[in-house]
Structure 1
C-alpha cells in the first residue's frame, strides 16, 4: 500500500487548501504559495511531492498521466509555468485522464528510429526495443538490482516518470535502508553525458523530496556501458552502473494426442 504521511492523503489535503484560501473561480495561485501553505500545515510533505500532486490535479497537464489521475483529482487548470486556478467544468476542456490512439501514435513517432544510438534492437537482439519496455519491466522487478529495492510510492504517486521540475525521472525507488534511488535508463549504449542528467535528478530529489539526512543515490542502467561513462563515474561514490541482458528461450512442446 502506498505510504500516507498524514491521516489524509495529499490529494485530499489539496481540497483543504482550497477551502482555507476561499479560492474563487479565475483566481490564480502559484506552486510556491501551495508549498508555503503545506509547509505551515503539513511540514513533513516535501516541496517535490507538492509539485507532483499539483501536476496530478491539473486537468490540462499531460504530465498528470504519469500519476494515474481519477475524477477526484480534477481540481485545477494550469495557466502557466507553476501557475494554476480552479478547474471549471463546462468552461474548460475535458480533463486529461488517459492516452488515446492519437497520443500513442504521437509518442511512437518521437521514439528514436532503429539504427540510432538509442534503438539498435533487431529480431533476436539481446536488448529491449524501447526504453519504456525496459522501464516497465524494471518497475515490477526492482529486486533484481538489489534485495529490498522497491518503487517509490507516496499517497497515490508512483516513482515511474516522476516529475522533477518539468523533467521526468525514469524510475524513483527506495532501498532497504530507506535511501531514495534515482534510476536513469538507456536502452542501448550509455554515454558520459548521461551523468549530468542523473546528477541533476539526484540533486533535485535531495533538495525537493528527501527528508533531512535521507540519503539519495543514483543508478544508470544500459545495455552497453562506454568507457567514457565508466571513467566519468569513477570518482562519484553515490552513482552505480549496471548493464542489463535480455534473454528469451524457446522450448518445443508436443501437441496433445487426439483420439483416432
Structure 2
C-alpha cells in the first residue's frame, strides 16, 4: 500500500525483484502492479493506526480480512494472509540486508576486510557499493591495496543458501570479463549470520570464494545520576 493525496491509499502487488537506478531520486526500486485505491475513511480505527506512518514497512497480517474486502481481491489462490506475510518477510529481509550493507561500508576500514581491501573506485570516486553489472548490482566491490585482487562481497541477513554461490559466481564472471586488468584476479566472499552443510559443500568446490559470519551485539549500560 502507498499513501496518496486526499486521504487515499493505493494498493498493488510487487511483481519484480530489486532494481538499482543510480543518479535518480529513488535509486532503490521494485516493480509494482498497482490495482486500485481506497479512502482512509474506509479503514477501521486499528488499520488506520497501523498505516499512518509514511515510508514504513508494515506488518498487516492481522488486518488481512479487512484488506481483502477493501482491495476487492476476492478469494485468491493463495490466502491473503499468506500473501501479505510472504511479501512482508521478503521486504523485511531486503531492508535488513541493506542495513547490513550500509553498516559494513560505513565501518569498512575497521573490519578485517578493510585491512586488505579498499572499496572500489573509478576516477577517484568510491563506486563499489551496489556496483551495477549486466546481471544485477553486486552488494560491494573492493580491490586489494596492492591492486592485484578484486573482491566481490555478497551479503545475506541470516542463513546463506547454496544458491548464493551461483549468484556470486555470476558477479565474479562479470568482473573477470569486464574489469580485470593484466595481472589481476577476482575472488568472492559471502557474509551471513549462519551457514549450513549445503553451502559448505558448494563452497568446497569454489576455492576462490570464502564464507564469513557476522555477529550482532547489543549492550545496555546503566547510567547513574
TM over 0.5: yes
Matches within 5 A, 1:94-173: 96=24, 98-99=25-26, 113-114=88-89, 119=93, 130-143=96-109, 144-146=111-113, 147-155=115-123, 156=125, 158-173=127-142
1:181–1:112: structure 2 CA closer, same or farther, 3 Å change rule? Answer: farther
Cα distance in 2 for residues equivalent to 1:185 and 1:157: 19
Indicate which of 232, 238, 242 corresponds to 2:202: 232
Q: Of the two structures, which has the highest relative contact order with CA contacts closer than 8 Å and spacing of 6 or more?
A: 1
Q: Deviations over 1:87-142 (max 9, x none)?
A: xxxxxxxxx3x239x99x7895899534x7x84xxxxxxxx961001001111223
Please say if residues 155 and 191 of structure 2, whose CA atoms lie closer than 8 Å, have aligned partners that are also in contact. Answer: yes
1:113–1:176: structure 2 CA closer, same or farther, 3 Å change rule? Answer: same
- Give the unaligned 5+ runs of structure 2: 1-18, 31-53, 59-83
Alignment of 1:184 onto 2:151: no
Cα distance in 2 for residues equivalent to 1:181 and 1:245: 21
Secondary structure class of the residue paired with 2:100 = helix
Cα distance in 2 for residues equivalent to 1:252 and 1:177: 45
1:148–1:246: structure 2 CA closer, same or farther, 3 Å change rule? Answer: same
Cα distance in 1 for residues equivalent to 2:116 and 2:218: 26
> Which is strand-richer, 1 or 2?
2
Please say if residues 150 and 187 of structure 2, whose CA atoms lie closer than 8 Å, have aligned partners that are also in contact. Answer: yes
Who is 2:183 aligned against? 213
Length-normalised TM-score, structure 2: 0.59
150-159 or 165-174, which deviates more: 150-159
Cα distance in 2 for residues equivalent to 1:107 and 1:168: 24
- Give the unaligned 5+ runs of structure 1: 1-61, 70-95, 120-127, 256-260
Count of equivalent residues: 152
Cα distance in 2 for residues equivalent to 1:245 and 1:232: 23
Please say if residues 202 and 216 of structure 1, whose CA atoms lie closer than 8 Å, have aligned partners that are also in contact. Answer: yes
